[in-house]
Structure 1
Amino acid sequence: MTTQQRLLLVSARWDHLGGHSGLAPLGEQLDAHFVVQRVVPNLVDKLRVGARLAWGMLRERLLGTPRRRGWNPFYNRHGLLLETAARRMAQAQHFDVIFFEALEDHFDAFADARQWLKRTYVAGVSHQPPAWWRLYASSDNVFAAVDTVIALSRPAQAYLQQSGHANVQFVPHGVDADFFTPAAPRTLAADAPIEVVFCGQWLRDFQQLSDTLDVLATAPQRYTFHLVVPKFARNFEQHYRLAQHDNVHWYAGVTDTALRDLYQRAHLLFLPLVDATANNSVLEAMACGLPMVVSKVGGVADYVADGDAVFLTAKDGRHAADQLAWSVDNYATCTANAERARSRTASQLAWPVITARVAALLRAT
């Protein structure tokens, strides 16, 4: 009988994502492939991080010595706390694999630990597209201490490889296809508005969304938009413009069940994007069999096949309004395409399938 390898999982729960969204199900699925122990900071870790940050501030004020900021401008105290706890746990006991669910957020100071982690394989998921790296991150090989980097789109994989990362593998993001499922068959009533869901905040094109609402204000067809956007992210002028429309309803802090209900009772997902690697909203909508109008940018093509959705190929509001109108006029075709997308999502992108691919990479050490 083969002994299961031991894996230390460095993960965080994102406040705006529930237990069925994002990467939370991945950690649960890894339990079937490894003996998993999750990083849990203790009081000593918190004291160490507090002392380190306080000493850095003191040196900066008294001696003029700049504090070490790290390679990522968004790396924060919580990331440092997780790394500190992971380092303590890895020193106390041996793990075959240390796996970071979000390298951009939680991998910086841990690179120094590789000098004494000779027998431990370090891997993690990179979430951001090439433009993010060009804008925010150093061109240096910041993941040199990571044995395997998992990219969530083929464009992101190619960019990281070109930047000097030796082992970058594309593995798609997964979805909880047992939770996000279709409900009753969708139909359009002649005298009822079209129910449209927009979900998320990162790399969403709020300008195109706002422009589209302006165009639709004079359209003969009535639309109702349900915008699921965290309150902390409602800080653009476009959000105020959107709130001036009386057919726009706002949601924040929704449960996974409430989010699924929105997908299930809506007629369309409308998701104009600036860029993407993987996208939770796209995967969840596909799993729910919801017809989609979505931007064909970044890694979207790695998840949404031709024919699965109606694609936005231009950035203006008129184009988007026309694509929505086409979807309504050809709704039977769109629902049939969405049913096919649901079937493919459940068979190829469900978390048990994706986790098996991740586990195979982590065990090939």
Structure 2
Amino acid sequence: MKVLLLNSSIQHFGRYSGYDRMFDFLKKDIELIYNDKQPGWVRRKLINRKLWPTYNQSKYGPYHFYNKYVEEYLAFNKALRRNPDVIHFSFAEDSLGYFSDVRSKLPGTIKLVGSIHQPPSWWKMTNKNIQTLKCLDALIVLSREAKKYFDSYLPDKVHFLPHGVNTEFFVPASSKESSSTFNCLFVGNWLRDFAFFVETVHRLNATYSNIVFNIVYPHQPEPTHPLFQLIRYDNINWHRNISDEQLLHLYQQADVLFLPLLNSTGNNALLEAASCCLPVITTQCGGVNDYFPDELIYAIKKNDVQEAMDIFGYLLRPENKGHIAAKSEQLGKLLREKLDFKVVADKLHSLYTSL
């Protein structure tokens, strides 16, 4: 089986993180054909003469930029030459537009599959054109909430296939560095509840003197960003442009991942931390419960800072250390069994062959 993949690598993801890493674990009977990225300037000028007059971002919605339109055009022509069995848009939110107009020009034997990562609330807020998805033969969503929402638009075509994690790389440390401080880790940018995080940090610093915060954030916070308020504290360590190994070390040496969210489907940081058997505090929202049972994480209600403070108080008490570790190990075991990339890739393989 041949699969033409239109992937969207995200700059701050490394070799082991992100949705596109799942394709590395597909069975060997799948021949992956990667799409061409941007052409050279001479060919680009020729393509622009044809494509630019037809490009209409208002039709395809925000985040579908012209460079994606060009990549789709290149993929369409490659599909005509290579005749794949499946064309998979790994981030259909921003890479599917042109194909919705030219679907009828493809051989009927070629099936179109799209994966979307944003929660229904994002689609409503951005007024993204869902009609572009109707050219797909299968739509993959990363939460049951999203499946329920899109079922009404694409009946019998929507499949909940969970996000996964590389459990061979994201593993617990063989030994942990001894420290008198409590190491709290925050990772990422998209759909994080920064205001809640910062308010909780204020409260924690006013209550405890032994907490250190490690923040992995890909940008320099602007003065208007909530994170900028943390400039007043000396117990904040900032990390960006770090290697995969440095990120792994941060997970392994942390005492907790504190990741308040505005919404979620599948979340890389939650999966990676849990795979490292790190206790997780996060928000009850979106698809969190599709991945993590309530009894194995520390779930907080939106905007409930006191609940977060109570959980930190529990985690900081030495007599709870054994129970906390056992709970985290059970969560790590669950991920290895059900959400390892190999397991998720097998489910994707089954979907391909069913079309």
Q: Is this a same-fold pair by TM over 0.5?
A: yes
Alpha carbons 1:181, 1:287 under 8 Å: kept: yes
Hey, what does 1:175 align to over in structure 2? 165
Q: Specify which of 332, 336, 351 is matched with residue 346 of structure 1.
A: 336
Alpha carbons 2:139, 2:157 under 8 Å: kept: yes
Change (3 A) 1:270 1:37: same
Report deviation, 1:142. Answer: 2.7
Tell me the SS of whatever aligns to 1:363.
helix
Hey, what does 2:26 align to over in structure 1? 30
Hey, what does 1:126 align to over in structure 2? 116
Mean Cα displacement is larger for which, 260-269 or 104-113?
104-113
Change (3 A) 1:137 1:181: same
Q: Specify which of 290, 293, 299 is matched with residue 302 of structure 1.
A: 290
Hey, what does 2:242 align to over in structure 1? 254
Say yes or no: does 1:328 pair with 2:316: yes
Distance 2:53 2:221 in 1: 32
Report deviation, 1:186. Answer: 5.3
Report deviation, 1:308. Answer: 1.4
Hey, what does 2:96 align to over in structure 1? 107
Report deviation, 1:104. Answer: 0.2
Q: Specify which of 184, 187, 202 is matched with residue 199 of structure 1.
A: 187
Hey, what does 1:217 align to over in structure 2? 205
Mean Cα displacement is larger for which, 123-132 or 39-48?
39-48
Alpha carbons 1:141, 1:165 under 8 Å: kept: no
The alignment's TM-score, normalised by the length of structure 1, stands at: 0.90
Q: 5 Å matches for 1:63-142?
A: 67-117=56-106, 118-138=108-128, 140-142=130-132
Cα distance per residue 1:81-113 (max 9 Å; x no partner): 321221110122211110111110111111122
Q: Identity of paired residues, percent? A: 28
Cα distance per residue 1:118-161 (max 9 Å; x no partner): 11010021111010011113464331100000100000111111
Change (3 A) 1:68 1:101: closer
Distance 1:334 1:194 in 2: 14
Alpha carbons 2:57, 2:64 under 8 Å: kept: no
Hey, what does 1:355 align to over in structure 2? 345
Report deviation, 1:36. Answer: 1.1
Report deviation, 1:188. Answer: 7.4
Say yes or no: does 1:20 pair with 2:21: no
Mean Cα displacement is larger for which, 6-15 or 78-87?
78-87
Alpha carbons 2:265, 2:288 under 8 Å: kept: yes
Hey, what does 2:229 align to over in structure 1? 241
Alpha carbons 2:27, 2:346 under 8 Å: kept: no
Report deviation, 1:351. Answer: 0.5
Alpha carbons 1:139, 1:163 under 8 Å: kept: no
The alignment's TM-score, normalised by the length of structure 2, stands at: 0.92
Report deviation, 1:55. Answer: 4.5
Distance 2:48 2:237 in 1: 41
Report deviation, 1:165. Answer: 4.7
Hey, what does 1:62 align to over in structure 2? none
Hey, what does 1:7 align to over in structure 2? 3
Tell me the SS of whatever aligns to 2:312.
helix
Unaligned runs of 5+ in 2: none
Q: 5 Å matches for 1:33-48?
A: 33-41=29-37, 42-43=39-40, 46-48=44-46
Distance 2:33 2:129 in 1: 33
Q: 5 Å matches for 1:156-167?
A: 156-167=146-157
Report deviation, 1:170. Answer: 0.3
Distance 1:140 1:15 in 2: 26
Report deviation, 1:29. Answer: 1.7
Distance 1:80 1:137 in 2: 19
Hey, what does 1:337 align to over in structure 2? 327
Tell me the SS of whatever aligns to 2:173.
coil
Change (3 A) 1:211 1:188: farther
Hey, what does 1:284 align to over in structure 2? 272
Hey, what does 2:140 align to over in structure 1? 150
Distance 1:339 1:138 in 2: 40
Report deviation, 1:12. Answer: 2.3
Alpha carbons 1:210, 1:241 under 8 Å: kept: yes
Change (3 A) 1:54 1:212: same
